Structures are given as C-alpha cells and as structure tokens.
Structure 1
Amino acid sequence: MTLRAPRVDEREVQWSAIRAQGAGGQNVNKVSSAVHLRYDIPASSLPDDVKQRLLASSDSRITSAGVLVLKAQQHRTQEMNRADALARLQAIVDAVAAPPRVRRATKPTYGSQQRRLQGKSQRSEVKRLRGAVRD
C-alpha cells in the first residue's frame, strides 16, 4: 500500500505577476513574466499532519504567518513560470507528505566494537612511540 501525497488545490494559491530579474534585455525590462506564488498553509485544505510538518520545516521561504512564497522566473512566459511554481509547490508538499520513519535505537555489533578498540589501541601505540626515547 502506497500513500499518495495530497494534491495542492490551485484555487488556494495567490498569484502576482512581477518583472523578472537578471539578463534578458528588453523582454525582461518591459514584460511581467515572473510570478510570485503565495500559499497560505494554515488556511489550506491539506491534512493537518502535512500542514504541521510543512510549518515545522526550516524552509526560509515560509513566513512567520505560515505563508509559503515561491518566485518563478526561469521561463520566458508567465504561463510556464506559473506551471513551474505550481510544480515546485507540489514537490515541497510531496516531500513532507510521508511521515518521518521512527528511528529505532540499535547497539553496535561485537565486531564493530572490536574494530573501534583495535583502532584506538593502534593510535595509542603510535602516540606512545612519539615520546622521549629512554634507555
């Protein structure tokens, strides 16, 4: 059984068109082809556990109010930038959709303990031999 990540509802996304930055000449200077995507996580229709993991993530694109802000300016057209931003938002949601696996504490194996102690004794011997020479 595989868990499917919840889909982001495009109606919950706020868009604003802005001018892109960087090289591109006349097209960049006069056309608002870049987009800002704003996604209000607490007000979204995502399941509560996914919302909590999103808000708990240390992503700098999430504001203190819980709004995820993405800027897309990779492509020449606004439509392609919108699609890119939406795909990136879905990828972020997909990344936190699966609950983290529970870590079970394990003990080091007998062999790994012996290798560790052997390495420590070899290092100790090297350091002991660097000392002053005595007759």
Structure 2
Amino acid sequence: MAGTLIVQPGVEIPEAELSWRFSRSSGPGGQGVNTADSRVELSWDLATSDALPDALKARALNRLAGRLVDGVLTVAASEHRAQLRNRMAAQTRLAALIREAIAPPPKARRATRPTKGSVERRISAKKRRSNIKQNRRPDHD
C-alpha cells in the first residue's frame, strides 16, 4: 500500500501527493456498516503536481477537465466491505484514469476511396431492390 502509485512504466505518483478520505459506506455490511469507515476517496492535485512531464500534464488537464475540481482529481470506491480493498480499488481506478488521459492521441485516419468492386456491388444491390419494389406496383396500362 505504501509508496508510489505506478501509473505505467516511467510514470509514478509519490504517496505524498495523494490524499485519502474515509467515510461510512452505504450498502451491505451487516452490523459493522454503521461503525466502519470503509468508503474511500482518493484525491490527487494534478494541477500542482510535478509527477508528470509538462506535455503529459497538459494533455491530462485537457482530457480530464470535466472531472477536475480546482485541478484536483478525485476517485471514490465503496463497492467492497473492507476499507483495504476499497483503497486498492481507488488506486487502480485513479491509475487507469491517468493512464487513459496521458495516452497519445490515436493516429489520424486517412480517408480512402471505395474499391471498384464495392461500388459495383452497392449499385447492383440498389438495382435489385428497385426491381423488387417495381414489381409490387400494379400495372397502369
């Protein structure tokens, strides 16, 4: 649990930059649900962090703009009864979010012309369909 949060090889978030909050969780838990603080909120101040290089940080800020509150990214986990498992789930979720946010943009698609065969198949299918509909009409001679 202690130590850095490894997002991907070469990208790590120091434990000192992560802040944890614990509260009571709703849902199953029996008699201990009202006494155990099993819900976990993991926050990371992306705007002031030095864990990411400037280019990756700018990309992450841009992509996560809708999730950030004053530059802080927060992830909550309350699906497990044990606080430790919720801590692990929150770390996994935060790492996945950051990994997705700093991923390079996909290669731009280069538009290509349809092949001659596909154009011919499309036109013949349209003609077939047209003939089917034409044969449904009554003769007006």
Counterpart of 1:33 (choices 38, 53, 65) is 38
Q: Report the counterpart of residue 48 of structure 2 in structure 1.
A: 43
CA distance in 2, matches of 1:89, 1:37: 8
Q: 1:116 to 1:58 in 2, by over 3 A?
A: farther
Larger relative contact order, structure 1 or 2 (CA cutoff 8 Å, min sep 6):
1
Q: Report the counterpart of residue 6 of structure 1 in structure 2.
A: 11
CA distance in 2, matches of 1:131, 1:49: 65
Counterpart of 2:126 (choices 120, 123, 131) is 120
State yes or no: 1:67 paired with 2:108: no
Q: Report the counterpart of residue 24 of structure 1 in structure 2.
A: 29
SS at match of 2:20: strand
The runs of 5 or more residues in structure 2 that have no matched partner are: 1-7
**TM-score, normalization by structure 2:** 0.75
**TM-score, normalization by structure 1:** 0.77
Contact 2:28 2:81 (8 Å CA) reproduced = no
Displacement of 1:46 after TM fit?
A: 1.9
State yes or no: 1:81 paired with 2:60: no
Q: 1:12 to 1:130 in 2, by over 3 A?
A: farther
The runs of 5 or more residues in structure 1 that have no matched partner are: none
Which has the higher mean CA deviation after the structures are superposed, 50-59 or 94-103?
A: 50-59
The answer to which structure has the higher strand fraction is 2
State yes or no: 1:109 paired with 2:115: yes
